A and B are shown apart, each in its own frame.
Chain A
Amino acid sequence: MKLLWFHLMPYTELPDDFKQKHPSVWVDIDPKLFDPLRAHGMYNDFLDELEHAAELGFDGICCNEHHQNAYGLMPSPNLVAAALARRTQDAALCVMGNSLALYDPPTRVAEEFAMLDVISGGRLIAGFPVGTPMDTCYAYGRNPSQLRERYHEAHDLILKAWTTEQVFAWNGRYHQLRYVNPWPRPLQKPHPPIWIPGGGSVETWRWCAELDYVYAYLSYFGYKLGEATLHGFWEEMDRLGKDRNPFRAGFLQFVGVAETREEALDLYTEPALYFYERCLHVDARYAQPPGYMSEATIRARVRSQVVRAAVASATETHAYGRPAFEDIVSKGYVIVGSPDEVAEQLREVAVNLNVGQLMLLLQFGNMRKDLVFHNTELFAKRVAPQLAGLFEDEWENRWWPKPLAPAARAVPRSLG
């Protein structure tokens, strides 16, 4: 299986009374809370942490896109990936991803992803999220009733731009371009692997199946909720006649490793609570602009008992509020323990959810760099070896980058 190291890049110095005094971490968070001098240190720590993970042999390193928030300081994940492309050699660069409907024209995504793919020697995983309502409809002002139409048009345009060997005109609903001709074009052919981060929408599952993309379920509510969602995903794959290749699916998991479970609880409780109480403190007003969720998805969610239970336990009760700390551990939102305990639980997660692309959050909340390094090193040296090879005898990972052979790759001066 593949192990990817995912950074959300949270602002790590929100005040202790943030939840009490501020209505939202997103959209209209108090601008005065942002201190660029402190953020200078944060960004450089975060980049160190990602580079460190790549050096320790994680298969991929991940960044993503969010706007106007202290939950994740990456309005432009492509800037982060560009820095990483020059500072890493073998790890896949998983940009998870660009919110397609926010780019006008969307050929910007085709160009920048192609730049990253070419600079990195073909290591890019291209993530195509719709984006949260906070990012897309409120921070970037996209009309929620047009968001998905824009997303799908942008997707079609980018794919055509990457795969058409001639200049073409695009007469779309939202974009009209007389000359589409991105330079550069991606190194990977026909294009970098495409991963779709999504919630539990049946339409997204079908779309991933139809276009042969990875479906990545990014939830902060652990594998027990993930089971309900991934179960639905695999049932849908069965219905569509697709195989159960675990590399079709990605899953995100918080992990804290220490010598013992007690020590892990001691080390990781505070950053976990920081994440759930401050980073996820989103005003519910921004959660559901009309049109953001399709009518089919509303129907499916309300009518499916399994999904309804899952959604009720997560998005309504907890997603924009605070879970009890006992829930954070007992429901598996955060997996903490000794290396052996963590390895055993992650193996169980991977097998039960049938997920081959496992994304790990080893930095979360206000975790500082020394602890991030400790967590990452323990994981790389004592957890990862126990998971090596899982699924790989039986299944081919067709959704992984195909970089140039090392001998054919340019070596950045800083790495030479």
Chain B
Amino acid sequence: MTSDLAHTVTELFTRGLSDGVRQHCTSLLLNAVAAAIGACRDEPVEALLTIGRSHGGEETRCLVPGRRERLDPVHAALVTGFATRLHDFDDEHLATMARPGAVVLGAALGALSDCRLSGAQVLDAIALGAESQIRIASAMAPWHGDAGWDPAATAGPLGAAVTAGLLWELSALELANAIAIASSMTLGHREAFGTTVAPLHAGKAAANGVFAAALARRGFTGSLASLEGPRGFFRVLSPSAETDRVTADFGKRWDVLDTVIKIYPCEIVSYPAVKAGERLSSQLAGRQPHEARIYCHPAVLEFAGEMTPRTMLAAQVSTAHGVSAALIDGAVGLEQYEDARVNAPDVRALRGSTTLIADEDFTPDSAVVEACMADGTILRDAVTKADGVLTSPLPEHDLNERVTMLVERAWSGHGRDVIDAVRNLSAASSCSRLATAISGGAHEHS
């Protein structure tokens, strides 16, 4: 199967992908780049950059979005994947919980400095890396994620190896070895969610894929039965995996098209409740509820049940926080997850009197929020499947606005350039414009 997967992606890469797939992946890439730039001056990103510069390789050719510094390929992938995922504002494949954007962007930037391919080919390598990891994750879904693994980081390194391997033009056999090697570089315990190690999962997945591809390029080997073998990847990570899903209809059916760009910067299971909180807020007319109740699908408690967050990363896994902030602030964005807002007295007070009530009758895309007012009235809003809160694609205009906001946050005056360079990538003869637009490049900026 490892060889089949490598052959399939190599062949599709040679043929080129359809406009529809390229267009969707362009949006994912644009959002991922913007998310990375938006986080590029956050403290933990600075810490990782410092480690990359002081402890990484001495030859530094690879860029990191939004920064002028250059790093070695492995650290560039690490920092980029980490930054993209840090604000929980990247993308997600709902059925598998894969987070392909952060991982493949990291892998691509690790591999890009040695790559002479056209913009369309770069996009195809990104798309195939994303598709591969979603398929591997979907063979394991839903058991794998429910059990406590982070599929972004278990399947991620293999997808990253595909992206890096294609950008380095590995043969099908070398690519099979890269995937096999990456299958022994998995990570991702969900215990780490709510801490800085969660975004590190995406960074390491990207870095490991780049490293695996580099090893394979020099003849390093792995078992070609790594995925399906009796002591291999699927056996250790998800014994009931439907392994056929990895290659079935690859090239005809595209799971990557089901990847959505995140509309709130938090764990996606919170979305219906946060949406209900936002809508309810307009009925409050500035009054603060003294209590809130959230009725939701049981997965909310498992994935976002944190009740007393003190940091952005903990708040990301706190539906109670998202709803409290929505009720008070009216709209939920990055600001509502900053440490300052997470610890603000008004938000803390309401969050402290918020209850999560799991109910099997709710689907993952529905929730009810009740706001109990001091005068005893109870205001109520229900988000249902019809609201499409999990599945509606972000319209192009909204995405551009969001990208501009993210880029300007850390790197003012560059939003337009970033949008143009990514949107034109599929027609570009190389990725040099992209590289210039998303990093310090010719623009002097410290």
Tell me whether A and B are bound partners. Answer: no
